[in-house]
Homo-oligomer: A and B are copies of this chain.
Amino acid sequence: MPTMLGQNQYGKAETRVVRITRDGRTHHIKDLNVSVALQGDMADVHYSGSNAHVLPTDTTKNTVYAFAKEHGIESAEQFGMRLARHFVTSQEPIHQARIRIEEYAWDRIAAVDGPSHEADRPSREAASGASAHSFVRTGQETRVTQITFDGETWEVMSGLKDLTVMNSTDSEFWGFVKDKYTTLREAYDRILATEVSARWRYHWSGDDEPMPDWDDSYDRTKRHILRAFAETYSLSLQQTLYQMGSRVIENRGEIDEIRFSLPNKHHFLVDLAPFGLKNDNEVYFAADRPYGLIEATVLRDGAEPRIPLDLTRL
């Protein structure tokens, strides 16, 4: 046979699971989108269609729901680890499992407004603070994680996407290469805006190290990214990216590597001169396409780079 099977994987993608936990009248919510990808001894199903080694993708979906009940969802990372371990250890032909999870955040409804002091309608519930079982989706970034387990070693890559940020000043861009196709003018005060996609890889690989506190690590890493973006006087988006990455590596010992994909969401100063108006960095056109796309990894010195070149959508 002149052809052969290469790298392959299969599983159920985008199983949407919502888990409610009740603490008396106070409920807690976890809202996940779980994608399972399994690798192993799968030549036969490709060559002959024999499913003797194939756990159906429908079963991997069922397992997500059953585990949400049996074990709860402490964090996306721990839930993913539980699933990965299950598939690899319970199915002989499965040698590796990769679990990808998106998590959507919800606020309690009254927490949106804080305590109510408005005159027009006092509300008992608002007076007592946040609602016990009413939620509004925050809608800001989406938290993501990817757990890979081969039966021995763990790899945890977490991150976020769709976090849109803007500095309305403290950004310049000049001193760049000019060739015969260059028309861009140098800028000494521009808007810098991007939609942050980031993935960071944890040092932890399941040996005797203690496991990080995944939720706390996520919150603090996001905060470092936001602050580094805000506090960097930027000469290029690459420089800002590096500041964001190195701030994380320097402050979060549990993270060895972080990669960003940063579209430069161009805000072009509108030329108002034809109308006799001066545009002193006040009115911008927010463009859709094309956009600059800046991508880089920042590593702890000596760490091995393992996050792939292209960050995936899921």
20 contacts between A and B (CB under 8 A): A3-B246, A4-B299, A5-B296, A10-B293, A16-B289, A18-B283, A19-B282, A22-B281, A56-B177, A59-B184, A69-B272, A109-B229, A116-B223, A120-B252, A125-B231, A131-B230, A134-B165, A136-B163, A136-B164, A308-B310
Contacts of A175 in B (CB 8 A): 50-52
Query: In terms of DSSP, what is the predominant structure of the interface of chain A?
Result: mixed
**Cβ–Cβ contact A6 & B134, under 8 A:** no
**Cβ–Cβ contact A139 & B141, under 8 A:** yes
Is the C-beta of A35 less than 8 angstroms from some C-beta in chain B? yes
Residue of B nearest to A9 (CB): B295
Binds B, one of A74-82, A150-158, A202-210, A236-244: A236-244
Interface residues of A in 181-211 (CB under 8 A from B): 181-184, 191
Contacts of A162 in B (CB 8 A): 139
Least CB distance from A78 to B in Å reads 16
Interface residues of A in 220-271 (CB under 8 A from B): 220, 223-224, 226-227, 229-231, 234-236, 238-239, 241-242, 245-247, 249-252, 257, 259, 263-264, 267, 270
**Interface residue tally of chain A, by bracket?**
35 or more
Contacts of A2 in B (CB 8 A): 249-250, 300-301
What is the total number of copies of this protein in its complex? Answer: 4
Of the candidates B29, B37, B310, which one forms a contact with A168 in the assembled complex, judged by CB atoms under 8 Å apart? B29
| Bound-complex Cα distance A69 to B19 (A) | 36
**Cβ–Cβ contact A177 & B54, under 8 A:** yes
| Bound-complex Cα distance A261 to B309 (A) | 18
**Cβ–Cβ contact A5 & B165, under 8 A:** no
Least CB distance from A98 to B in Å reads 9
Q: Quick one: CB contact mask for A292-304 with B, threshold 8 Å, 1 for yes?
A: 1111111111000
Contacts of A173 in B (CB 8 A): 51, 56
Residue of B nearest to A242 (CB): B46
Of the candidates B220, B241, B283, B292, which one forms a contact with A69 in the assembled complex, judged by CB atoms under 8 Å apart? B283
Residue of B nearest to A141 (CB): B139
| Bound-complex Cα distance A223 to B170 (A) | 35
| Most chain B beta-carbon contacts within 10 A, residue among A3, A168, A290 | A290
| Most chain B beta-carbon contacts within 10 A, residue among A16, A19, A308 | A16
**Cβ–Cβ contact B50 & A284, under 8 A:** no
Closest 7 interchain pairs by CB?
A49-B235, A6-B297, A134-B230, A8-B296, A49-B239, A57-B292, A137-B164
Least CB distance from A196 to B in Å reads 9
If A2-B250, A177-B56, A231-B123 touch, whether A290 touches B13 (CB-CB below 8 Å) is yes
